[in-house]
A and B are shown apart, each in its own frame.
Chain A
Amino acid sequence: MALTEDPGKPRNLAERVQRVQDAVYSAIFHNYVWQSIFRSGYPNTPRNQMLVVATNIFLHLHPTRIHRTHVKITHTYCLGGLTFFMFLILTVTGVLLMFYYVPSVDSAYQDIAALETNVKFGLLMRNMHRWTAHAMVILVFLHMMRVFYTGAYKPPREFNWVVGVILLVLTLVLSFTGYLLPWDQLALWAVTVGHGIGGSAPFFGDETQLIVFGGFEVGPSTLIRFYTLHVIALPLIAAVFMAVHFWRIRRDGGMARPL
């Protein structure tokens, strides 16, 4: 700034407005604190735009350039990305729900009922968690269909498809374990149906019920197991598989293209 010539007094109104705009912009984006967070300004040049994608922690999973056809909405409908985005919303709303929820048979139901009535935005958070969970299951199926019908599982992406199948199972199990937590009639009896299905496994039926459900009927030990699986074990496992899933997209040469 100091190197430039003194611009003198503004000559007309437009120039005066321009001066004010520049001053505001400069105050926000050229101050010491802002520049300690974002080292460079808005990336205006192709070089800087590639740099920002390559060096920003949230963007660096992307390549810096991408084939024209892959940006078209109809190529992917953003399904995989949206599935991951649902996971993020579920993480945020889930953490908020955990503040008010105690996974014991005595208090679980009251906690949810109180969350809906006594907690500001509690009902909204629970609704968000519920509907995005359903959406994630639907989106993961749609994403799988997209990958299949575009032939994107073909070499060299075989293993990433398998990781995707594992993530499908993890999504279903995550959703199912969450289903029990409100401890209402819907939850108990839906999980009782699942408990029966688990118990029908040939040779390992009893073991499945004991290990996964914590007993021969759905009870307090089922609740604490499902809670632990739902809030920590399965999200961590899913996060690891997601990391592999996203990383493999890059390693396998980006999204599938016609040869």
Chain B
Amino acid sequence: MAVETRAVARPAAKARPRPRREREEEVLVWPDLVFVEFIAATLFTITFLMLSVFINAPLLNRANPELTPNPSKAPWYFLNLQELLLHMDKAWAGVLLPTIALGFFASIPYIDRTRSGQGVWFGSKNAVRLTLVSAAYSVIVVAALVSFDSGDRTYTEQLTRWIPSCNAEAQHQGLPCLQDAEGEAHTGFLSTKDISKRLQFSVPFPNALGVDDSNLDWPGDLDRIPVPFNNVCGNVGSFHLWCDMNLNIPSIMAEQVIPLSTVVGLAVAIIYVLFRVGWLRTKRDLFIVMFTAVLVSYLALAMVGSFFRGEGQNLIWPWEIKVDEG
């Protein structure tokens, strides 16, 4: 008897009816949502039908591996990576930074585990202004870095043109100079990469550690620094990660340390400022700033690649772009 009672009578607290007010806030999916979806789908179908009637998809000449168009460009959503290639090491620009960005996206909900502020646009206190500040900052930073770093029309080039050309007959002792390509007019720094590719100077240095002419030459004496134990070879298949590995210090400086520390430094700077101002207080705030910055920079770099890169990937105004098809 006792068992039966227990089975039938449930504790009153568990038999909680759904709150009536929430039920009243609900609408039926048919018709309220299904019709909205139907209208959206119809509008998009009509729009793209009209677009396709009036604007044709591009079809250039048949592919010719002998004929390289200048400039040749990736699809617009990868132009940002192509743009980064101009400014830093290709592994960072093309593979590592995008991978880090995607990893960052995926990890957002596992780091910011708060439940508050969901389901409404910009649900936290400072969300709107953090987004705006971060977006504006990213645009300014991208525009500034791009216009200073790469191409033959930058102020950097003009301001560093005074550095003499290395092609002079006398050997440069100590003073910095810039190597010019054979038969080309002298130019200043065209990009950060020139620090390792074209800049040359030497400083007095004792004859040790491989230096034998009392001068430490940049980049000549520093571009093959052996990694410790690189004479120990243990190959796995075609991989030889460590064996015969040498560091190219000028290249690492110019293509990795300088560009990456610039990017990281600028990011940390804005986060620090927003923190000191008191707008950035939670992980959610931090992620709003970072997510916005990544996305806006992605877009801004794609715009630079699409509209501001002409022949030889030089900086150019959109109306001056001409594609030499080879």
Contact = CB atoms under 8 A, between A and B. Distances in A.
Contacts of A128: 48-49, 52
B53 interface: yes
Interface in B1-44: 25-34, 36-37, 40-41, 44
A89 B51 CA distance: 14
Interface in A56-91: 59, 62-71, 73-74, 78, 81-82, 85-86, 89
Contacts of A82: 40-41, 44
A148 interface: yes
Interface stretch (A9-17, A26-34, A194-202, A226-234): A194-202
A215 B193 CA distance: 29
Interface in A93-141: 105, 109, 112-113, 116, 123-124, 126-132, 135, 137, 141
Interface residues of A, number: 92
A67 B29 contact: no
A99 B90 CA distance: 39
B57 interface: yes
A257 B22 CA distance: 12
B58 interface: yes
B85 A197 contact: yes
A153 interface: yes
A43 B106 contact: no
A127 B55 contact: yes
Nearest to A184: B60
Contact of B82 (A70, A187, A193, A198): A193
B145 interface: no
A137 B79 CA distance: 14
A68 B27 contact: yes
A259 B115 CA distance: 8
Interface stretch (B65-73, B147-155, B205-213, B258-266): B65-73
B117 A151 contact: yes
B26 A66 contact: yes
Nearest to B325: A185
A138 to B, nearest CB: 9
A259 B40 contact: no
A29 B30 CA distance: 20
Interface stretch (B118-126, B167-175, B218-226, B271-279): B118-126
B56 to A, nearest CB: 6
B91 A62 contact: no
19 contacts: A53-B28, A59-B34, A65-B28, A68-B27, A85-B41, A109-B62, A123-B56, A127-B57, A150-B120, A151-B117, A151-B123, A154-B113, A165-B102, A185-B60, A190-B73, A198-B95, A200-B90, A201-B94, A258-B118
Interface of B: 25-34, 36-37, 40-41, 44-45, 48-49, 51-53, 55-65, 67-69, 72-75, 77-78, 81-82, 85, 90-91, 93-96, 102, 105-106, 108-110, 112-124, 127, 131, 238-239, 241, 284, 288, 291, 295, 325-326
Interface of A: 43, 46, 49-50, 52-53, 59, 62-71, 73-74, 78, 81-82, 85-86, 89, 105, 109, 112-113, 116, 123-124, 126-132, 135, 137, 141, 144-145, 148-155, 157-158, 161-162, 165, 168-169, 172, 175-176, 179, 182-190, 192-194, 196-198, 200-203, 205-206, 217-219, 255-259
